[in-house]
Structure 1
Amino acid sequence: YDCINQNPDVAESVLRNHMWTIEDSAVIICIQDDPHVKVMMAGSTLRKVKSRSWKKQRHFRLLEDGMTIWYKSRWAGRGHSTCEYFSITEVEAVREGHQSEVLLSIAEEFPADLCFTLVFHGRQGNLDLVAESTEEAQAWIQGVRKLIHKTQTMDEKERLDQWVWDWFNKADKNKDGKMNFKEVRKLLKMMNVEMNEEHALHLFTMADKSESGSLEIEQFVHFYKMLTQRDEVWKVFQDFSGDGEKLMLEELENFLRTEQQEGEQSAQHAQELTDRYEPSESAKKQGAMTFDGFQMYLCSQEGSIFKPEHRQLHQDMSQPLSHYFISSSHNTYLLENQLRGHSSLEAYIKALKRGCRCVEVDCWDGSDGEPVVYHGHTLTSKILFKDVISTLKEYAFKVSDFPVILSLENHCSVEQQTVMAQHLSQILGDTLLTTLVDGLIPQQLPSPQELKGKILLKAKKIGGLEVCLDETLTDEVSDEEEMANGECSDDPPKSKLSRELSDLVVYCKSVHFHGFEHARLHGKCYEMSSFSESKAKKLAKEAGTDFVQYNTKQMSRIYPSGLRTDSSNYNPQEMWNVGCQIVALNFQTAGLEMDLNDGLFRQNGCCGYVLKPDFMRDGSTQFSPEKPDGKQGYKPLRLSIQVMSGQQLPKVNQKEGSIVDPLVRVEIYGVPQDQAREETSHINNNGFNPVWNETLNFVIHTPELALVRFVVEDYDKASRNDFMGQFTLPFTCLQAGYRHIHLLSRDGTAIPPSSLFVNISISELT
């Protein structure tokens, strides 16, 4: 594949041999005859509900692409209505009936069989809808579910086909199924392509086989193919192909062994990849992979930067809880800030569906005897404690079977604590762990495996698990955690503990921290202390080794400063460096900190538990993050990343004429000595297929703790660069060789087909 800009005639010849059409897209085909989808395409009048008082009719319709849902006011006159739309790829699930706070509030007005909720990925709010008939509701519920399933099972080629179809529809302003050259020029701007008009016209003419002066969808696909020549991938293919047209199994095996560093498994893997990705049956029979198959492999999950085997549950889950990092949320009930934000059951659902395994509940006396959850002494809204527990019961184990820790911040009177205990017992039933796993006083915590399907209560407890002679109620509620969480210091004296609530605490007893020496002499494995971020940072810097040793036996919870009223987050890496298990973050706030959290817990089946390195599980460890070279078996590694190219990067400014100037930055997070960042130069006016071919080098001293974050930004010399996309993963999950990095949005959701193409090399430092 010669460069299209240099030799378009060669490209035209190649196109004839590598035709693919939009009709291959199974998404488009599957929707034509489905009765539910037909109803969606015909359109329906549905009520969009935002609250008890805001219920407005909107006309909803599935567009011809089979992926876009469009809606507008039913009664709006021409020129006065605002149309909105969203893609099926943005929808995570459909809930039937009154399964949202909003729809529950109008349950008396609209029967459950008319109601449904569209749940979106990431932090986007839900869409609550009411149909005019049960049949219409079911058509939309079942139709959307089928389309979601189809998008989730598309292969890379189908995803690309769908993406091309979407762009065609966006550019086809008059909806006549054709695009003239003026529309194509606008399309190029929309797609982040800055191209010489003469050259664009040349490509247009090549694609216009009918010489009609316009492109229909299949001709547009050919035009797109010419735009997306991957010369850097073609060069790699040519380097290993004997005849320049295909890779025989031995040649593919050679590529996997020498470039992808797969070693002994490369022969078997070569056959598997050919069977899986080669589109040509004749090539398969020859035991060969064509360029199309090779490119499909490189763009697949197997060709991604993340080791496929590390995406699965693969770690030992039989070790004590204290030996794991645990995905943890702070003030889980909040959707927004800490002062006026909305408290919502939805916040718990979103956190749990992201793999969170430790949620927080702040409990206060309710006016009618029912405890409420909110951020005390603020204007945040209130939700019922019993509703939170019901939500926890339903969603705790949707994405992971491993235990959930319910971190209770208790501000309630003894009477309402007893009500809390009743709700916990009645609603959670056997799911709530209330007895010792084996009936014995533990010398170490039970494992995630032993606690599968269980919810553990973290709270104050009267006495210990050992038989106590003195069971007098004591004032155990007021402690450093509550004060640092921003609670007022002039509160009235705290209530004593309810015996019923205390008895529900088993392996997660909250205690005040009295120092590492005290913990070494007197600490019990089931006792947990909470530390503000500032306290934890201070201890990590002054006594890092002691903190690591402490965390081998007992669990610690870190929480954001009470001054973070905007729900911002601290860097969790500093806490993981000393083995802290429960590093609680505001899940509702996107940014670097949540990228790191998502990156760490992306491994091990996204189960919310990640086994700590062996040197953080040994009680006699001498590891210090400040002095990583003192670790036994210290072996620093060199990481070399050749940033080759980018593909269909997202636009930042949606103005028609704006095109990004992308750069790539690689950031390393780990022990202090590993903290580093390097970036490429920026490419002017090309977010479509920028090519950098720049190499960034790093030395990693503690690879077991390092995270690697790839960030793409739109360069701006006059102001701060704009974020475009990122992907974060543990260093230990990196695949060497030629790899694609599939970028995520600021919200942590996929933005296909945006990607980076890199070459990763890892070697011992000599």
Structure 2
Amino acid sequence: MPEHTYFLKRSSHNTYLLSRQLVGRASAESYTHAICRGARCVEIDVWPSDSPEGFVVTHGYTLTKGVSFKKVCETISAAVDSLGPDAWPLLVSLECHVGAEAQVNMVNILKDAWGEKLVIGRLGTDSLEQLNQVTPRDLKGRIILMVEYYAPENFADIEAEEENNGVDSEAFAETIVEGEDLPAVLVGKIEQRKISDGLAALGYYARSWKPSEGWLQQELIDPKHILINISESLILSLLPAQLDPLIDHGLLHLRRIFPKGTRIRSSNVDVLKFWRNGSHVVSLNWQTFDTAMQINESMFVASPGWILKPKAQRLPDVDSQKLRLRVQVVGMSSLPLLDGYEDKVCDAYVKAQLLHHQQDQKWKSQTVQTTEEGDAMWNETFEWEFVQDELAFIRLRIRDNRRFKGDADLAVFCARVDVLAQGWRIVHLLNMNGERSGATLLMHLGITCITDQLL
């Protein structure tokens, strides 16, 4: 059983985008930002153009501005170098929309930019390869390229794949796209997809297949190192009926989830739903610090970007207990207010959520007016009872009660319940861009087992 199937990876979707999906701008520096913040799977979409390179990194069939493929590769290389040789490996998902002839130049750019960091072909001894036991530890400091693989049968030819749902490709077939440090480029109709042998060789350990109906029941033996690359909609269509088969399949093959194409505002999937079904890589739009990104941030904080799956997915017969979580929310200090607060105060309350696989739970404090320094006192307590769950999260939001204008989030704290430090805690609150807000929250947490009977 390949060891890498035991891990979840922190992942970024459309990494090159700075903002919106349809009319935003691409930048190579987006990769530096994502990788240095812990992303261990990033995405490059390459399209044909009339630039000197012959292709560009952009969001096809949109008005997104592009960026040089070479510059993107060099930026990724520098970001990986900055992490040091002991950093866990980086997966790069390559969505290739250019013809086989142009791929020769792409391969040369990849090799020149990434050098020895790029995994090319098979590593290790024949015996290890036969056992399919190349581990992430064998690939520290390296870059693993995901390259599309088109099987002769059983898998769909994805000329019109689901990620284009809601976007009229014909309407954008002759769109002029301005590039960063590039002349205007033409994203036009592309030839039927084909991956050259040279490019395919770079994807040996991550052969990215987009499957057709029935893939979950197929025995995928040859070729080795299959990575199932599948949309959120197709996975959701299998739930909840196929939950156990999905978890079992995830112990044999890597699986990456990408969001459907209709998420044009860079909204995100319910990341917990996909981690709970055994998927390893859930690609998120880092441009939006929504609930999924808040959970993602707390899931991988202080980690190398790879963490073990829950024991219930890796080990047989894992027992769970019933727990009681008791939280005393005392007060907040130094909350900076948004622009437009002329009186420098707001009516603040705490909204708490337990995100759990059986049933979410909620709690809300009273509303109090903050001081001009951004302080507030609640001194309230709440309790939740629930079955132990390694993917249970607690989220506390400081909200402004705007009455008839619609309440607004001002700051947030999110954490995995299993790793919560108990007792008195002063936690740092993030603003709604995912940055330290400067505010802190004083609270007391206690977790007790309330039954000796295993559930």
Same structural fold, with TM-score higher than 0.5 when normalized by the shorter chain:
yes
Pair 1:328-2:11 in alignment: yes
Contact residue 674 and residue 702 of structure 1 kept, 8 A: no
Structure 1 545/366 Cα, relative in aligned 2: closer, same or farther at 3 Å? same
Pair 1:716-2:402 in alignment: yes
> How do 1:628-643 residues align onto structure 2 when only pairs under 5 Å count?
632-643=318-329
> How do 1:90-489 residues align onto structure 2 when only pairs under 5 Å count?
320-367=3-50, 368-399=52-83, 401-440=87-126, 441-444=129-132, 446-461=134-149, 478=159, 480=161, 483=164, 486=167, 488=169
Structure 1 765/730 Cα, relative in aligned 2: closer, same or farther at 3 Å? same
- Give, in whole Å, the separation in 2 of the partners of 1:693 and 1:524: 60
Q: Which residue of 1 aligns with 2:265?
A: 566
Q: Which residue of 2 aligns with 1:72?
A: none
Structure 1 502/451 Cα, relative in aligned 2: closer, same or farther at 3 Å? same
Contact residue 425 and residue 432 of structure 1 kept, 8 A: yes
Letter in 2 for 1:684: Q
Gaps of 5+ in 2: 174-188
- Give, in whole Å, the separation in 1 of the partners of 2:193 and 2:339: 54
CA deviations 1:712-760 (Å, max 9, x no partner) are 11122223222111111111110111111111111111122x1111111
The structure with more radius of gyration:
1
- Give, in whole Å, the separation in 2 of the partners of 1:406 and 1:485: 26
SS at match of 1:450: helix
- Give, in whole Å, the separation in 1 of the partners of 2:406 and 2:319: 42
Cα deviation, residue 493, structure 1: 4.5
Equivalent of residue 608 in structure 1, options 305, 314, 323: 305
Structure 1 578/435 Cα, relative in aligned 2: closer, same or farther at 3 Å? same
Contact residue 460 and residue 477 of structure 1 kept, 8 A: no
Cα deviation, residue 499, structure 1: 1.4
Structure 1 438/731 Cα, relative in aligned 2: closer, same or farther at 3 Å? same
Pair 1:596-2:295 in alignment: yes
Letter in 2 for 1:383: V
CA deviations 1:618-644 (Å, max 9, x no partner) are 4xx5xxxxxxxxx63121211111111
Q: Which residue of 1 aligns with 2:367?
A: 682
SS at match of 1:328: coil
Letter in 2 for 1:615: A
- Give, in whole Å, the separation in 1 of the partners of 2:232 and 2:156: 25
- In the alignment of these two chains, the number of paired residues is 425
Q: Give the TM-score taking structure 1 as reference length.
A: 0.52
Cα deviation, residue 700, structure 1: 3.0
> How do 1:60-79 residues align onto structure 2 when only pairs under 5 Å count?
none
Q: Which residue of 2 aligns with 1:494?
A: 192
Equivalent of residue 548 in structure 1, options 219, 224, 247: 247
What is the percentage of aligned positions where both structures have the same residue?
A: 28
Contact residue 668 and residue 676 of structure 1 kept, 8 A: yes
Letter in 1 for 2:367: H
- Give, in whole Å, the separation in 2 of the partners of 1:359 and 1:380: 18
Pair 1:504-2:199 in alignment: no
Contact residue 476 and residue 497 of structure 1 kept, 8 A: no
Contact residue 162 and residue 260 of structure 2 kept, 8 A: no
Cα deviation, residue 509, structure 1: 0.2
Contact residue 652 and residue 722 of structure 1 kept, 8 A: no
SS at match of 1:552: coil
Letter in 2 for 1:723: D
Equivalent of residue 350 in structure 2, options 657, 664, 668: 664
CA deviations 1:343-371 (Å, max 9, x no partner) are 11121111111111111111111214532
Contact residue 714 and residue 722 of structure 1 kept, 8 A: yes
Contact residue 665 and residue 680 of structure 1 kept, 8 A: yes
- Give, in whole Å, the separation in 1 of the partners of 2:130 and 2:296: 30
- Give, in whole Å, the separation in 2 of the partners of 1:748 and 1:486: 30
Equivalent of residue 418 in structure 2, options 729, 732, 739: 732
Letter in 1 for 2:312: F
Contact residue 330 and residue 586 of structure 1 kept, 8 A: yes
Letter in 2 for 1:607: P
Q: Which has the higher contact order (CA 8 A, sep 6+)?
A: 2
Cα deviation, residue 520, structure 1: 4.3
Contact residue 376 and residue 487 of structure 1 kept, 8 A: no
- Give, in whole Å, the separation in 2 of the partners of 1:428 and 1:481: 31
Contact residue 162 and residue 261 of structure 2 kept, 8 A: no
CA deviations 1:419-469 (Å, max 9, x no partner) are 111111122111100132314335445322111011011012477xxxxxx
SS at match of 2:236: helix
Cα deviation, residue 479, structure 1: 6.9
Letter in 1 for 2:282: V
Cα deviation, residue 570, structure 1: 1.8
Pair 1:765-2:450 in alignment: yes
Q: Give the TM-score taking structure 2 as reference length.
A: 0.86
Cα deviation, residue 571, structure 1: 1.8
Cα deviation, residue 685, structure 1: 4.2
SS at match of 1:542: coil
- Give, in whole Å, the separation in 2 of the partners of 1:579 and 1:504: 26
CA deviations 1:558-605 (Å, max 9, x no partner) are 111101111121221111111211100111122222111111111xx3
Q: Which residue of 2 aligns with 1:170?
A: none
Q: Which residue of 2 aligns with 1:701?
A: 387
Structure 1 589/674 Cα, relative in aligned 2: closer, same or farther at 3 Å? same
Contact residue 4 and residue 136 of structure 2 kept, 8 A: yes
Q: Which residue of 2 aligns with 1:64?
A: none
Contact residue 481 and residue 531 of structure 1 kept, 8 A: no
Contact residue 210 and residue 230 of structure 2 kept, 8 A: no
- Give, in whole Å, the separation in 1 of the partners of 2:138 and 2:407: 48
Structure 1 719/443 Cα, relative in aligned 2: closer, same or farther at 3 Å? farther
Q: Runs ≥4 in structure 1, deviation > 6 angstroms? A: 474-477
Cα deviation, residue 399, structure 1: 4.0
Structure 1 690/495 Cα, relative in aligned 2: closer, same or farther at 3 Å? closer
Letter in 1 for 2:192: K
- Give, in whole Å, the separation in 2 of the partners of 1:669 and 1:399: 32
Letter in 1 for 2:392: A
- Give, in whole Å, the separation in 1 of the partners of 2:163 and 2:447: 46
- Give, in whole Å, the separation in 1 of the partners of 2:147 and 2:201: 10
Cα deviation, residue 485, structure 1: 9.1
Cα deviation, residue 525, structure 1: 5.7
Contact residue 163 and residue 260 of structure 2 kept, 8 A: no
Pair 1:585-2:284 in alignment: yes
